[in-house]
Amino acid sequence: QAEATTLSKNFSDIKKELNAKLGNFNNNNNNGLKNEPIYAKVNKKKTQGQTASLEEPIYAQVAKKVNAKIDRLNQIASGLGGVGQAAG
């Protein structure tokens, strides 16, 4: 059970770190990046005069997927203690 708690804490720390690093990407509407990647500039040119795309930037999608995975691992890790006790 101690192992599961340690695992869960590690995942939690990783998630916080990722959120800190990736969080600013989630809210930027393509304006927040100082050094905008070339594909973002190209996409902006394409969408001028059109309605804004509802598609999320790829880094926002990745951040969400990573966070979902970490949440899942946290659930599994927190369940490990219970499983051990039930079996014992």
pLDDT tens digit sequence for 42-64: 555 555 555 555 677 888 888 88
The predicted structure's pLDDT at residue 12: 79
Global confidence as pTM: 0.32
More confident call, 64 vs 20: 64
Mean pLDDT over residues 10-31, rounded? 68
The predicted structure's pLDDT at residue 21: 72
CA distances from 47 to 25, 28, 44, 80 (A): 19, 16, 5, 48
State the angle between helix axes of 58-87 and 2-26 in degrees (0 to 180), rounded to the nearest 10. 170
